[in-house]
Amino acid sequence: MYIKKQIMGSLVANMKKRKRIIVVSACSVLMLQPLLNVYATESTNEATMSTEIEKSFEVDETGEINQQSISDSSIVEQEMESIKSEQISLTESTGSASEESLDESHTVLDDSQKTEESATIESTTETTIPELKSDEEYIFPSGRSDLNNMQAFSASLAIPHVSATDTNLPKKSFIDISSHNGYISVENFKIIKSYGVDGVVVKLTEATSYQNPYAKDQIKNALAAGMKVSVYHYSWFKTKDQAKKEADYFAAMANSLGLPKDTLMVNDIEEPKIAEGNNHTQNSLEFEQRLNELGFMNVNHYVGMHWITSGKIDSNILGNRKLWVAAYPYVLSTTQRYTEYGAWQWSSQMTFPNVPGIFDISSDYHQDFINQLVIEDEKITDFQEFNYAMIKKNVPLWQLDNQEVSSIGNTQNLLNQTLKINSLRRDSNQTLYYLLETNTGDLLGYVKANDVEGTNNAYGEYKKYNKYVTIQSGNYDIWQNFNWQKRSHSANYQGQLLQARGYYDHFNGTRYLTLYDQAGKWVGYLDVAATKLSSNGGGGKYHAYNKYVTIQSGNYDIWQNFDWQKRSHSANYQGQLLQARGYYDHFNGTRYLTIYDKNGKWIGYINATATKLSSNGGGGKYHAYNKYVTIQSPNYDIWQNFDWQKRSHSANYHGQLLQARGYYDHFNGTRYLTIYDKNGKWVGYINATATKLSSNGGGGKYHAYNKYVTIQSGNYDIWQNFDWQKRSHSSKYQRKTVLARGYYDHFNGARYLSLYENNGHWIGYINETGTKLGPEVKEKMAEVQQLLDQQYYSANYGIYVMSLIDGSVAQKHGSKIFHAASTGKLPALYYTQKMISDKKLNGETLYLYTDSINTMSNSYMRGGAGILQGQSFGKKYSLNTIMNWTAKYSDNQGANFLGYYGANKYDTTMKQEISAIMKRNWTNPFYVSAKDNAFMMQAIYHQGGKLITDLSNTVYDQQRIPKYIPVQVAHKIGDLNSLAHDAAIIYAEQPYILVVMTENGVGYEVISQLSKQIYDRLK
């Protein structure tokens, strides 16, 4: 923990002026030691000391440490060099700062204030040192942050100071260090290692703002001394998001130092300021998983034991194996405590001869923090180094005392176990022995190395198994390997049947199954405690079900057992409702139902895919029916549900026609209809035997009608029959007048008309409300003929009026041939739309505009009306664009473009199509009659498509036929010298075709007046 400026200043002032004892925590003494040594050695005055402190620990105006100064590389390097030289000089002299050096240099402490062991410094705050407790009581680490103010822990003074030379101690496996320990040389690390300490855990980071400035040298020197290096991060996170950020910060520094990805990364979770009110377990898991994502797969967690006992950390979730717990006994012994965890930090007061400073010391129970095998005899070199021994036969157990061997038992009870090799010894005959250790740290005795099989794998030997197990717990990790790289989790497989092809009996006392799924894919290694052995082989666990299913496929075998002895076949039960009392999820990936018939007889096991679950219990599957039935028996109950709650009785509906919308074939063998009255009210479920099926559905009696009606709505279905098989839709016939030859007054209350087109083609049944009754078209057309005969009989006219309802016609000189002018463009327009509608051409494809369109046969002259003539050759246009220009502007070049590309240069096929429409041999677009153009407009009307829209939106809509017409008019005009033509579709309620061709200067207004008179008669 870094020290704030004002605390250091206060400390020095008290030492100089008041000569009082200042009591701080052991770790705080360690923190101060490098500075105190400088203070003592150089005999500096108070101002010099204050200056040195300010150099090392810059503080902002609020009293907080300036992190910029901590991370500044140049300052750190200067400080490190200073500390290195100070500690080297101290080591050469006394190895530590004694009370004598402090007293002689500055007379800070009185003789009466010195203790027998060392100079003790007391804070100005009064504290009470707790009494020593029994060996079952502990003190726990807390709040050793480098970002916090210095905190005093008086209880730490009750922890016994221990020396590496003491023998009555737990195992000394590894130390952990931080910036508090300062610079440690390779030589000092070697001294520490000589006392059996084979690992060191170096602090790298804290929160997201602090980095240990000594970490790089501490790691480099520890590795040079032959020690295994792990690293830790002091955590402040209170949320999962913060945990991820701190993990990123930790990993970034690890990467910057070039640490390998298999480095053990430790989450130090102890800060008291975050202790309460946070989900530390899940946050720590998030921290671990984020490190895994960043490539660091070995992650452990350091925590005070009181965090576990108080429930702040759930060891079952994080995994005991991954927890490094801290608890400092007041009374130390060789007893190894907390062996169920990965490691135990048992003191923070360890010292090593000739090495300055005090260290945290821990026991490693799984060799996560150390690698070295202990060799008690340094002369033993001629052996294969193993960490574990597999006991495959019963051999003697020995005791070695000064190379003298005596028997203490045998390995009968250890057969097939994997045990740790604690150390190596030779007897007087130079026979090599292994000292065996259990996973709880108990020493069993020595075995001859040749009597066991050595291995470096804690998981031991693979053993074949080939059993099936069900994953019954969702609380276990599934491992990728025995370096504890997580592969998956049992929750992902809970309830599933998996194949255990083999297993390992691990040194940690756990049997791990190697599991495979039904596809043969390896799942991973899982603790056997998370599984349950299947008593039914691959059939797996029996699950009670008690559902009803319908056999929907006739292609499945029904089995007697899971040795695949055939019992029956699904074809024998197809369509039947059966009871599935239970099921098995077989290892082959299939669910097998155990099924019974309605008499309770067992049928066998069947693949569930051959069945369909009934949503109505014993009522079985609902079947849509939509039939009409007459209630012919008065002696049946009508049911509310299949729990047999009575709703009504058939006597109340005897003789009535009702709608049976659906039915259920019940498990009891009866078909029940679900019936409705003519108002759509549900009547209930009735036994089908109480009813008689109507031969005419709900349509009722047919009535002759023979009226013309206009389809006025586009939102009605048109039916094929009264089973509601759709035939067409009213939108296809909207605004058309058709013949209603008859009608039906349906059960549902609606009248349905039976409709026919003018050519006698049956359209279907439509609800009458989608139509409107109109006068007879023939009568109206007679009035139009009378008008033409009386007012428009001149030979200057060619007039043709055709009903699009019944085909009736009124005309005057309708067959007279005129020069077509621009009405001759209708064939090219029609044929281009046909090619697009038939998907033989794409209306958006671009075609090249060249003069070739003007030189083909039947081309219009260059110039004239339109837009295209003003464009440059070489441009490209779509057929949709040119079709619009030709209709809207009567574009001459546009008509040629369509004739060239859309009509394929007026080829034979196109001419045959137009000849069929006009009912004569058509060879060119320049000479037509009003009748010819009427047939073209009729074809355009029935063809539909974008062309109708183009013809309805032209620059000529305020003249000729459309001028006085209040409804949509799709038309094509034509002008040439004294000729004035127009051919139109008028979308009245009863639509019709009007073509007017004139010569000798008749004029547009005459055509407009004629159009208005005809519309008034036909609208």
490-506 pLDDT, tens digit each: 999 998 889 999 999 99
How far, in Å, CA of 331 to CA of 434, rounded?
A: 31
What confidence category does residue 259 fall into, taking pLDDT thresholds of 50, 70 and 90? very high
User: What's the confidence (pLDDT) of residue 263?
Assistant: 94
Q: Are 233 and 246 in contact (CB under 8 A)?
A: yes
Q: 3-state secondary structure string, 480-528?
A: CCCCCCEEEEHHHCCCCEEEEEEEEECCCCCEEEEEECCCCCEEEEEEH
How far, in Å, CA of 237 to CA of 243, rounded?
A: 5
| pLDDT at 24 exceeding the cut of 70 | no
User: What's the confidence (pLDDT) of residue 458?
Assistant: 84
User: What's the confidence (pLDDT) of residue 87?
Assistant: 41
- Which of 113-117, 428-432, 494-498, 926-930 has the highest mean predicted lDDT (pLDDT)? 926-930
User: What's the confidence (pLDDT) of residue 377?
Assistant: 45
Q: Which residue, chain included where needed, has tokens 């998001």?
A: 241
What confidence category does residue 192 fall into, taking pLDDT thresholds of 50, 70 and 90? very high
Give the CA radius of gyration of the chain.
Answer: 50
Mean pLDDT of 233-250: 96
Report the 10 Å Cβ neighbour count for 264. 21
Mean pLDDT of 568-577: 93
Mean pLDDT of 742-767: 89
User: What's the confidence (pLDDT) of residue 25?
Assistant: 33
Percent of the chain with pLDDT over 70: 83
| pLDDT at 209 exceeding the cut of 80 | yes
| pLDDT at 123 exceeding the cut of 50 | no
- The β-bridge partners of 303 are 325
3-class DSSP state of 173:
coil
User: What's the confidence (pLDDT) of residue 7?
Assistant: 33
What confidence category does residue 85 fall into, taking pLDDT thresholds of 50, 70 and 90? very low
User: What's the confidence (pLDDT) of residue 326?
Assistant: 96
How far, in Å, CA of 820 to CA of 713, rounded?
A: 37
Cβ neighbours for 812, distance < 8 A, ≥ 6 positions apart: 788, 789, 792, 793, 797, 798, 799
Percent of the chain with pLDDT over 90: 60
Q: Are 386 and 452 in contact (CB under 8 A)?
A: no
Q: Are 37 and 86 in contact (CB under 8 A)?
A: yes
Mean pLDDT of 190-213: 95
Q: Are 237 and 205 in contact (CB under 8 A)?
A: no
What confidence category does residue 258 fall into, taking pLDDT thresholds of 50, 70 and 90? very high
| pLDDT at 121 exceeding the cut of 90 | no
Burial (CB < 10 A; 0-12, 13-18, 19+), residue 346, is buried
Q: Are 222 and 193 in contact (CB under 8 A)?
A: no
Question: pLDDT tens, 39-73?
Answer: 333 333 333 333 333 333 333 333 333 333 333 33
What confidence category does residue 869 fall into, taking pLDDT thresholds of 50, 70 and 90? confident
| pLDDT at 111 exceeding the cut of 70 | no
What confidence category does residue 95 fall into, taking pLDDT thresholds of 50, 70 and 90? very low
| pLDDT at 552 exceeding the cut of 50 | yes
Mean pLDDT of 269-287: 93
What confidence category does residue 15 fall into, taking pLDDT thresholds of 50, 70 and 90? very low
Q: Provide φ and ψ at 253, rounded to 5°.
A: -70, -40
Question: pLDDT tens, 599-635?
Answer: 899 999 999 999 998 877 788 778 999 888 989 999 9
Nearest to 186 by CA among 222, 215, 239, 234: 222
How far, in Å, CA of 307 to CA of 449, rounded?
A: 43
Dihedral over Cα of 931, 936, 942, 946: its sign: negative
Beta strand segments in 720-808, E = 726-729, 737-745, 751-756, 762-767, 771-773, 797-803
Q: Are 917 and 807 in contact (CB under 8 A)?
A: no
What confidence category does residue 510 fall into, taking pLDDT thresholds of 50, 70 and 90? very high
Compute the 3-state secondary structure of the chain and give helix, strand, coil in percent, each to the nearest 5: 30, 30, 40
| pLDDT at 252 exceeding the cut of 50 | yes
Mean pLDDT of 991-998: 96
| pLDDT at 675 exceeding the cut of 90 | yes
Mean pLDDT of 346-355: 95
User: What's the confidence (pLDDT) of residue 774?
Assistant: 67
Q: Are 171 and 363 in contact (CB under 8 A)?
A: yes
3-class DSSP state of 81:
helix
- Which of 640-644, 696-700, 716-720 has the highest mean predicted lDDT (pLDDT)? 716-720
Nearest to 54 by CA among 3, 102, 11: 3
Q: What is the mean pLDDT of the chain?
A: 83
How far, in Å, CA of 229 to CA of 176, rounded?
A: 10
How far, in Å, CA of 817 to CA of 918, rounded?
A: 13
User: What's the confidence (pLDDT) of residue 143?
Assistant: 60
How far, in Å, CA of 276 to CA of 291, rounded?
A: 25
Q: Which two tokens stand for residue 816?
A: 């007279």
User: What's the confidence (pLDDT) of residue 775?
Assistant: 63
Dihedral over Cα of 334, 339, 342, 348: its sign: negative
Return left, alpha or beta for 211; rule: phi > 0 is left, psi -120 to 50 is alpha, else beta. beta
| pLDDT at 980 exceeding the cut of 50 | yes
| pLDDT at 382 exceeding the cut of 80 | no
Mean pLDDT of 738-758: 88
Half-sphere CA count of 138, side-chain side, radius 13 A: 20
Give the CA distances from residue 799 to residues 785, 794, 823, 944, 972, in Å, rounded to whole numbers and listed in that order: 10, 10, 14, 24, 15
Q: Which two tokens stand for residue 290?
A: 């984020």
DSSP string, 618-635: GG--EEEEEEEEEE--S-
Q: Provide φ and ψ at 909, rounded to 5°.
A: -60, -45
Instruction: Sort strands 228-234 and 199-206 into parallel, antiparallel or unpaired.
Output: parallel
